[in-house]
Amino acid sequence: MRPGDSPPEEAKAPEQILQTATVAVESVETAEQVSQLPLPRRDPFRLAETLPGVQDNGRAASLYGQSPSVANITLDGVNVQNNLVSARTLNSISLALRTDQVNEAAIVTGAIYGCGCSQITFSTPSGRRALHGSAYWLTIPDGVTAQYWADNRLSTPATTSLNQLGAIFGGELKKNRFFFLLNYEAGLDRSTWTRTGDVPTHALISQDPLMQRVLDLIPASASGKYRGRQRNGSTGSLGLLRLDYLSSARNTFGLTVAGGAASMDDPSDSSVFAPRPNTTVDVSSRFFSAFWRWSVTARLTNEVRAGASLPTLDFRNSLRARFGFIAILNDPDVSVSQPMMGMDPQGRNDNLYSYQDNLNWVVGKHSLQFGAWVEQYRLNTYGSNRGLLDSLTVPRDVISNAAEGAIAEVDQRFSITSATSGY
């Protein structure tokens, strides 16, 4: 090369597009990826499933070969998993998050993060200096989704009917100091699925008026087979508020508050006959997360975080409230699917409290991390599930002759928690 000549361009390898897994992994999804990709039902977990190390075969999911029940899923540093029931899917959490409520998602492995070998961490978006906002409406109308050929042939296809709407608004409350962000999401799901069962070829009649009310729950068909639609949807909403306060160059404070409620159909724990399942699940959730980040020096930073996830879940059964008993048909002349199957009323408060203190110290070319993470779990329950024809709240009548309303056996079960409970 002669003086004055331009230096030759260096040959550069193309940037790596695919992320590969190593012993310690951190895969991050940015806010742009979370918000702009067309995710089904605007579920951020759908994007997490595309990262390396995450597998889902439709029956169960895993993170680097581990069940989600031994992993840790957090929102702003607070665990939001359903802790009572071991989860087999990634989105078994106490808050029904949507993409506008997630600024960044990451999957990390390694003991340094604690509370599980694999972690899925979500962070909520913050307000910015300029006022900003948006609104949306997502709809999936009835009849546009593919269905099974057999259901279409018999004119009983399952349907997907979904409407989601929401709005987000944020900005600055105090110049360069205090920021806020508000978000509200609502969903109306009126999807259905196909139910099948055995029915009589003609309408059943009983001399007993009360027994007749039970038999009226059972339709008749000349084929002796029932095939119909049953609702499999939900109605719910979730609101979120985030505040960030920069008190000085070294101290930052933040608070996230979220709350939601939903009522979900539960057809798998209901009789097959009703257009709407007799078992429903009511869920309400409250969430809090607060942090203080202190930059002691340019190389030493400490963050304290505390929060709570407080979901409440209640199973309700309309047939238990309507009849006050369970009729179990054991008539040899009547071969039908049981019309009063359903979950017994029960519920739980599945509360988790989280406390963290993390210290990061940069020493030369090295970064040292220290921390403590304590979680306190409190569970309060009522009721019990011992089967769809069992109950701790109403008596069970075994019917030996439906036409006459003859009862062969009656029993009443109790949940004995004290010397006088149930009596």
Confidence (pLDDT) at 9: 46
pLDDT at residue 306, as a whole number: 95
Average pLDDT along the chain = 83
Whether the predicted pLDDT of 19 surpasses 70: no
Residue 60's pLDDT band (cuts 50, 70, 90)? low
Query: Angle at Cα 48 formed by Cα 235 and Cα 289, nearest 5°?
Result: 65
Instruction: Report the alpha-carbon distance of residue 355 to residue 306 in Å, rounded.
Output: 5
The answer to whether the CB of 277 falls within 8 A of the CB of 230 is: yes
Quote the CA–CA distance of 85 and 354 in Å, as a whole number.
19
The C-alpha angle with vertex 415 and arms to 409 and 420, in degrees rounded to 5, equals 105
In the block, tokens 């933040």 appear at: 254
How far is residue 350 from each of residues 93, 104, 198, 314, 405, measured CA to CA in Å? 11, 26, 38, 11, 42
What tens digit of pLDDT does each residue of 144-179 get? 777 777 777 777 778 889 999 999 999 999 998 999
Q: How far apart are CA 342 and CA 345, in angstroms?
A: 9
Q: Residues 19-123: name the CATH superfamily.
A: TonB-dependent receptor, plug domain (2.170.130.10)
Place of tokens 């709005």: 167
Q: What is the pLDDT of residue 232?
A: 92
Rounded CA-CA distance 50/305 in Å is: 29
* H or E stretch at 357: strand 346-363
* Predicted local distance difference test score (pLDDT) of residue 62: 73
* Sequence ranges of the chain with CATH classification 2.170.130.10: 19-123
Amino acid 113: pLDDT: 55
In sequence order, what are the residues at sequence separation of 6 or more whose Cβ sits closer than 8 angstroms to the Cβ of residue 335?
Answer: 198
Q: Judging by beta carbons within 10 Å of its beta carbon (0-12, 13-18, 19+), is residue 118 exposed, middle or buried?
A: buried
Q: Give the Cβ contact number of residue 373 at 10 Å.
A: 16
Please give the full DSSP string across 148-208, using - where no structure is assigned.
-HHHHHTT---B--EEEEEEEEEEEEETTTEEEEEEEEEEEE--EEEEEEE--SS----SS
Question: What does the alpha-carbon distance between residue 24 and residue 119 come to, in Å, rounded to a whole number?
Answer: 12
User: Residue 23: its pLDDT value, please?
Assistant: 43
pLDDT exceeds 80 at position 35: no
Tell me, what's the pLDDT at 271?
94
Instruction: Tell me the pLDDT tens digit for each residue of 1-16.
Output: 443 444 444 444 444 4
Q: What is the dihedral of CA 207, 209, 215, 219, to 10 degrees?
A: 100
Distance CA 238, CA 175 (A): 29
Cα 15 from chain centre: 36
Task: Please give the radius of gyration of the chain, using alpha carbons only, rounded to the nearest integer.
Answer: 28
pLDDT of 245 > 60? The answer is: yes
Q: Stretch 372-392: mean pLDDT, rounded?
A: 87
Instruction: Give pLDDT tens digits for 291-325.
Output: 999 999 989 999 999 999 999 999 999 999 899 99
For range 347-351, the mean pLDDT: 89
Of the candidates 254, 251, 280, the residue with the CA atom closest to the CA atom of residue 268? 280
Cα–Cα distance, 289 to 271 (Å, whole number): 41
pLDDT given at position 128:
86
What is residue 284's predicted lDDT score, i.e. its pLDDT?
Answer: 93
Lowest mean pLDDT among 51-60, 268-277, 381-390: 51-60
Q: What is the DSSP code (8-state) at residue 408?
A: E
> Higher-confidence residue: 36 or 197?
197
